[in-house]
Structure formats: C-alpha cells, structure tokens
Chain A
Amino acid sequence: MKRSMFVLFSLLVLASLMLVACGPQATPTPAPVQTQAPTSEEPVATQPPAPVEKTAVIGFTASLTGKYNVESSRQTNGLKLWMDQVNAAGGITLTDGTVVKFDSKFYDDESNKDRVQELYTKLATEDNADFLISPYSSGLTAAAAVIAQQYNKIMITTGAASDSTYQQGYTLVYQAYTPASHYLTGALDLLAKTDPEAKTIAIAYSNDSFSTSVVEALKSYAEGKGYTVAVYEGYDPATTDFSALINKIQASAPDAIMGGGHFQDGSTFAKQVYEKNVTAKMIALLVAPPEPSFAELGDAALGVVGPSQWEPEAAFQPDFGPTGEDFVNSYKAAYGEDPSYHSAGGYVAGLILQKAIETAGSLDPDAIKQALDGMDMTTFYGGIKFDTSADNHGLQIGHDMVYVQWQKDANGNLVKQIVWPESGATAPVLYPIR
C-alpha cells in the first residue's frame, strides 16, 4: 500500500515537472538583429551612397493565451503586416538620410494585467524598445500605459476604447480607437437625422464597466438633445432571460432601444426583443451586431444597428497609407482570413507611428511627440486626431465609429450595410425596422 502510494506520488511529481517543462516559453520572438536606442550618437552623413540603417524596436505584448486570444492575435497580425510592408518598401528615410527599419519584440501577456506590467517594464528597460504598442483590451492597456509613461516611452494604444486611461495625466499615450463614450452617440445622431419625430429611447445595458461608460455618455448626450430616456437599466452580463426587462421596455413604448454589452447578451437580447414583438423603430446594440455570426439570429437580426471601429466596406478616402481595399487584400493574402476591426486597429497603430516619424524626420521622442500632437490625417480606418488638452491628452477625437445595420439583399439574404456616417454609408438606413 505504502509503496504504491509512493509510486503514485512520484508519478504525479514527474507529470507536473513535465507540464512545467512544456509550458509556454517566455520569448516567442526572434531577438532583434540590431538594437539601437534612438538617442544614441547621431550618425554623421558624410558618405551619401551608403545610408546609415537603424532598427527601431517596437515592443508590445500579445494575448497568445487566455480570454483575449482571438482579438489580440488579429491585432498583432495587423501590426505585423504594417511592419512587413514598411520594411519591404525600404523603411522610413529620416531628414538626415538615415533609413529606419522596424523590428518587434513581444511577449505573451496571458490576457493577465499583472503580466502586462511586468512585461512592459521588461520591454522598456531590458529590451530597450523605442516605441510601445498597447496590448488588446482596455483593462490590459490601462495597466501598460502607466509603465509607458513611467519609462518615458511613446505608446500607441489600440484595441482599447476606455476613456479613463487618458484622464490620468499621461503625455505619451495616444489612442487609435474611438473612445467608449462615443460608441452609441452616433446611433442617436442617426436616429435624429432619420426621424426627427422620435422622442423616447430605452437603454438596457450589460452592467460591466465598458458598457456602463458607453451608456452613461449616451444618456447624457440623449438628454442634452431633448430625448426622454424612458428605461435606463443594467443587467448582469450572464443574463439569458430578458423577458422581464423587455416587458418593461415594451410598456414604455420607446421609439428606439439602445444599449447591449457583448456578443452573447447582445444577441440574446435582440432575439428575445424580436420574439416578443417589441415595436421599437430602431435597435442599436454594442459589439454584437458587427460580428458576422450575428446573422445566425435570422429575422431577429434584421434592422439591428451596431457600432464598429472599422468595416472593410467603409469607403473612406485616405490621405495616408493604403486604401481599405488594399489593406483587405494584403491582409487576406498574408493570413488567409478577412480582417476584423481588431486587425485594422493593429495596422493603424503602426501607421500612426510611421506618419509621426515621417513628420518628425527623426527618432527623437520629443519631435515624434510633437508630430503626434499635431497629427490630423485620414487613413483607410478613418480620421486620426488626438486631444491635446491636459485633461484628456491622447484621447482619440478624429475617428468616428461606423454604424452597420443588418439588411436584406435582393435575394433575401442578410447582409451588413454601413448606414452611418453618411460619408461612409453603403446603403440607406432601414427605418422603422418593424
């Protein structure tokens, strides 16, 4: 008996050792060939035919494991595509003739905040990254931004919409995404434009911090425009039965229902609103509608509007970088799948950095910071401009959400159309939906 226990115990120890050995390695990237801090000695351009080449290191973490795996991988793919394209095009030539190429240094943050802080510290100190890109999600980015500011590194954040990160007094953190406070305000503009008679809206939202901050901004925006918010109620993100809440909404007879949260609750809510024959003329929900699988709801998806950071069809005229079509094609060629807005976010983070370096004409952080502060451009992803006030420094103010609506094409199939803003629209809005 004792012997078998001992054998069992040693087997367990052996097994756990093997698991540790097979666990994820800390560094999945190849080490950069040549790491040089931007502040190192100025190259002297004496011999024009042989331009000095520098490698700028871009540091970031990706969620290779954990709950953000899918979105984060797409974001990383987008960023890498940008980097490959810039390097293949010969890099960026600075005013002194130096050619800058890029290399990346990244780690797996396991979708974990504590890992993020540890790893960004490592990127800023040991790896001497010249620039930082944020991880995916607002939570991880908030954790990374502190480190960027602490070690005086410029960070472009992407995949992170929360407003609060830019209210901490940081001066080196710049946001590529439209902030959460603007996620649904455009839907209200759309409603106001389409139906000036509409007066009442009902807001039902998942009571997590992201969705709550979105609807708080929506509510004050709506009330400021003279709308009555008849229902304003949060629900648990895990809710599957919305009957009671929908009854309440139905009784208040709103012109539009807005809110939602994430994919599961949003799609369930839309389904049950449809099944209960709620008569609202417009439904605008967060996050869920832009997802292609939202169409699985069938008729319940018809007419539902949702904000998206970017859609492949959005017809913006870029003044910098590739067109939307070029981006989609090269992304498909590189990764064999359609890019999502996460991919576009990763790519555009690189594009912002590129534009700033080109404008500055050097790798000097102060000059690049100045270029970022003054940036006002349109890319395939939409406008990019940063708030430079002390209270909201780095907050994205140039980029608008695009609003998609599920409509039926001539064959009766559900298709996503862009209905707002008008400059990017691919179809007129379907209103009222029922």
Chain B
Amino acid sequence: MGNIFLASLIDGLLIGFVYGIAAMGLSLIWGVMDVINLAHGPIIALGMFGVFLLFNSIGLNPYISLIIIALVGLLGGMLIYYIAIHRVLTAPPLSTLLATYAVNMIIIGLGTAAFSTTPRNVNFSLGSLGSGMITVQGTRLVAAALSTIITGGLYFFLYRTRPGKNIRAVANNRAAAELMGIPSDRVLALSFGLGTLLAAVAGGLISTFFPFTILAGGAYELKSFVIVVMGGLGNPIGALLGGLILGVMEGLIPLVLPNTWVPVLEFLLFVVILLVRPYGLFGAKK
C-alpha cells in the first residue's frame, strides 16, 4: 500500500507541474485584462502539434522545438490580441468572451482540416527511471523540471523587470498605469502573448507523453479553469500550486474510488472554492 501511494503521489505531482503551466497562461490573461480566453485549449493543442510537426518533419528534439513554439506563441498571441481582442476590450464582458470563442472555433476548424482528428503521438522517449512500482518516465521528469524553471522565470519577469512590472501595474489599475506613462496597449498585447506562450509550451510538454488531437486542449482548458480559480488570478505561484493540487488529486483519488470520479470531485472542489473563497486559495482578497 505504501508503494502504490508513493507511486501515485509522484505521478500526480509530476503531471501537476504541467497543469500549472497551462493554467498560468489562462490566469495571466484573465488577471491582467479580465478576458476569459476560450481559445486557451486550442492554443495548447497547437503547441502539441508544433512539437509533433517539428519532430516528424526534421526530427527536432522536442525541447528545442519548445523555444520555437514559445516565440511563435508569443508573437501569435500578440497578433490575436490586436486582431480579435483589442477592439472589444472595453465593450461588455460578453464581447471578449465571444471574440476568444471565435478564435477558438477558427483554430479548431483550420486544425481539423489540416490534421483531421486522428490521434497523434510524438514518438520521443527518455526512458524510465526507478524500478518496480515507482517507475517514472524521463519525459515527465523533464516536463516537471522545465515547468518549475518557467514558473520561476515568469515570477522573475513579473516582479523584477520593467515590462513585468508594467504588466502588474496595468493589471492593478489600467487608468492609473496610463497616467504614469505606461503604454497599456502594448502591455496588454504582451500579456496576451505571454499567456499564449505559456499555453503553447504546456501543450508542447504534454505532447511528449500523451497522445493528442486538435481537440485535446479542451480537457486541459477545463482543468486550467479549476486551477485558476484555486490559485487566484494572475498569480504564477498560485497557478503552480493549484496545478499540483489538481495533479495530486488525480493521482490519489483513483486509489480509493473508481477513476471516473476524479472529474466529479475536481469540479465539486471548483464550486466549493467559488462559494467559499472566490478569490482563490492563494489569491489576495480584492
């Protein structure tokens, strides 16, 4: 019993790091500009396909692909912001929701046409570590390590650099930030780009161990919502902790209940947190 508990705990924690990264993208956009990005899932899926295409066409190592995916994600996100979000940002909240939903539909439509919905696999392996019950895939370990580094990097960026501080200032009070001479448009575009970057990178990491289709992002988008609500808006550390909690739940719940109960309990937790601590477990009261 001890072994199976430990094995499931490790599995849960490792996947939790990646959930955290995925949620961070959603959290950042939501926190900074009050936009619920419904294109989050398809962007995760695009990250998966990025790794898949680079790996299958030129045999590029997935972790090197991630750099390209991050860049494309950043620029693509800024493009999406200027085309779809910018003009409806001050309109009623439903408009941004619809705008991102439209982006979501466009990506899914084009993706289905280009890739169909046949499941894909990136045939990349780093072997396994450990023995017996406690066996961990190399790709999952690396994904967890990279996720931690990315979280640290994001934290450093938001709290220690000028553009990062600008983002936080705009998130806090856009009018006041503009009065201080911060170009809020560019800052918002940057935040959206960063959110997209994180989603795409999370997708790229996931693609190294799970199969996926262009629709696969949906499941991670839902998990991201739960995590964002748990971790509090715009808080990278909160998102990471939320991801870890969710991962551990996924690892441990199946030990005592049928595994189909996992989503039920996850969303139960989601509702309870919304009722009891709507600003999240790790978020500050606004």
Contact = CB atoms under 8 A, between A and B. Distances in A.
A276 B121 contact: no
A234 B258 contact: yes
B184 interface: no
Given A240-B210, A275-B135, A298-B123, A247 B259 contact: no
Contacts of B131: 277
B182 interface: no
5 contacts: A244-B251, A247-B254, A250-B4, A277-B132, A277-B135
A251 interface: yes
B251 A243 contact: yes
A321 to B, nearest CB: 34
Nearest to B253: A244
A300 B137 CA distance: 14
Contacts of A248: 4, 254-255
B211 A264 contact: yes
A239 B212 CA distance: 11
A247 B211 contact: no
Contacts of B250: 241, 244
Interface residues of A, number: 26
B210 A235 contact: no
A196 to B, nearest CB: 27
Interface in B222-259: 250-255, 258-259
B260 A236 contact: yes
A263 interface: yes
A233 interface: yes
A180 B133 CA distance: 33
B219 A275 contact: no
Contacts of A298: 123
A234 B263 CA distance: 14
Contact of B211 (A240, A244, A245): A240
A297 to B, nearest CB: 8
Contacts of B97: none
B127 to A, nearest CB: 9
A378 interface: no
Contacts of A234: 258, 260
List 9 tightest A-B contacts by C-beta distance, closest first.
A244-B254, A243-B11, A240-B210, A251-B4, A264-B119, A277-B135, A247-B7, A276-B135, A247-B8
Q: From A240, A244, A263, name the one whose CB has the most chain B CB atoms within 10 angstroms.
A: A244
Given A244-B12, A247-B8, A267-B119, 18 more contacts: A207-B260, A233-B258, A233-B259, A240-B212, A240-B219, A241-B15, A244-B8, A244-B251, A247-B11, A250-B133, A251-B1, A263-B119, A275-B125, A275-B137, A276-B128, A276-B135, A277-B128, A277-B131
Interface residues of B, number: 33
A238 interface: yes
B133 A235 contact: no
A296 interface: yes
Contacts of A245: 254, 259
Contacts of A238: 219
A264 B187 CA distance: 42
A247 B123 contact: no
A268 interface: yes
Contacts of A296: 121, 123
B3 interface: yes
Interface in A221-261: 233-236, 238-241, 243-245, 247-248, 250-251
A276 B134 CA distance: 8
B205 interface: no
A89 B131 CA distance: 63
A235 B253 CA distance: 13
B128 A235 contact: no
A257 to B, nearest CB: 15
B113 to A, nearest CB: 15
B216 interface: yes
A298 B4 CA distance: 27
Nearest to B213: A264
Q: From B15, B254, B260, name the one whose CB has the most chain A CB atoms within 10 angstroms.
A: B254
B258 A251 contact: no
Contacts of B252: 244
Interface in B1-37: 1, 3-4, 7-8, 11-12, 15
A241 B253 CA distance: 14
A245 B128 CA distance: 18
Contacts of B137: 275
B133 A251 contact: yes
Contacts of A268: 210-211
Contacts of B4: 247-248, 250-251
